[in-house]
Each structure stands twice: as structure tokens, then as C-alpha cells.
Structure 1
């Protein structure tokens, strides 16, 4: 009887967690999300914006792996859920040292629904990169970057 109650309780907890409005990968337990990144690999938008605005000599390589506006200094790859753009990502990183600081972002939609961030992050890991950051845009680029006045590429 205890075992049935425990299983039922765990099932209800998992169901309740998954049906809540989600805005961040932290909101869903990592085991249920199957995210390839860990907490320390998330980069706060304010940190990247500060680095860009300061003109720091060592700004990370910023890759737009989605179909959204380019952040200032970003290289536009395009949505890597499209096989052509995944190949474009592979070409963009092919000759880089594996310890290059790489920041990827999409921002098309919430992390829980994004078709681009996981394939791009996995590709960088598979390619041996050791300093990968995912820009923490849990809602989207507009909400977590644009509305805060952070720098975008000139049009």
C-alpha cells in the first residue's frame, strides 16, 4: 500500500510540474527536461551585455543558432533544427581551438519548446568544446534581451 501511495504521489508531482507555465529550465527538474547543459553553463543576459558594452578584449564567440535578431557581435547561423544550418554551425566551429569560449542563443520561444538550443549545445559538446555557455533566455529574446535595452546588431 505504501508503495502505491508513493508512486501515485510521485506521478502527481511530475504531472503538476510539467503542466505549470514554464519559463526556465530550472522550473522543470533537470531529469525530466533532459537538458545537455548544467546550471553553471547558463549565462545571464546581463553578463553578456556588460561584456559587449565594455568592448572587452576577450568577448566570447556569440552564435545565433535560431531565427531571431542578432545580438551585437553575434555570428548568424540560423535555426539549427534545419539540417543546412547545423552544417553551417559545424563549419563555423571546425577550425576553432576547443577551449574557445562559445555562447549560443536562440530566443525564439521558451527553453522548454526550443527546437534549436539542444542540437546546437550537443554539437558543440560532441565536437569537444570545453567552454560552452547557453545564454539564459528562458522566455525569448524579446523578453529577456531586447526589452532590457541590451545591444543588438546594427541593421
Structure 2
């Protein structure tokens, strides 16, 4: 297990990708939120795409990394999942539930390690687990109904 502050073997380089927010003339914005993001313009007689697509950049970076290091990225670790979690949490958790059982187990383990509070703490994977969960809820409901229908001292 690699932890913060550990001394690791081998080359430890990393890179930072810096992209200017404006072009040289200071007329066009390259910002990911720019309205020029999906447009083209003529530059020195050639048609050039303007803007910077952060989503496309991260997708390509993940693909190159995964291919180069034969890394099997779990859904939880992807940029797309992070975006979905921030913008549409309900879609994110629905997607988690659709994962195959082994991937789902790893995904929930990763989320637990990161301290993410899950709306569903236990998700039944088998019919017996589902039946147990239903019985527990039913028992809790019946107990509450009995207590609300009587006067307790």
C-alpha cells in the first residue's frame, strides 16, 4: 500500500499542464467555460479550433495512462464519475448500482476509504440479503405502529 510520505523506488517525475487563459492577442479566451470552446477561426490562413475542452482532455489522459500502465480504472476513479457525482449525484449512485458485483464491491470500498457518506449503507446483492432487509424494515414498521397505537407510560 502506498501512503503519503513513503519513499518509493524509481523515477518520481510528474507534470503540470498549463494552458493560457487567453490567446497571444488577448482577444479569445481558452477557458473551459468560454463561449469560444467549440468554435473555429482562421489563424495564418489555417482553420484552427479555439478553446479548451477539459472533459475531452481528461478522458484522453485517462485512456493514455490506463493503456500505458495496463491500469484497470474503476468507475469511481474516473473523471466522468466525479463530474456526474458533482452535477447529478442520483445518476452517479444509479450507475454504481448497475456495475457488475465485483466492480461494485471495489467501488464501495474505494468510496468508504475516501470517507464518502453513502445514501445506501448496505445494498443487497442476493435475494436472501434482500429478504432479510425487507424483514428488518417490516419489523421496524410494525413495532412503530404498535407503539403509536398505544399509550406508553
Common topology (TM > 0.5) = no
Which structure has the larger Rg?
A: 2
Higher RCO, 1 or 2 (CA under 8 Å, sep at least 6)? 1
Structure with higher helix content: 2
Structure with higher strand content: 1
TM-score normalized with structure 1 length? 0.23
TM-score normalized with structure 2 length? 0.23
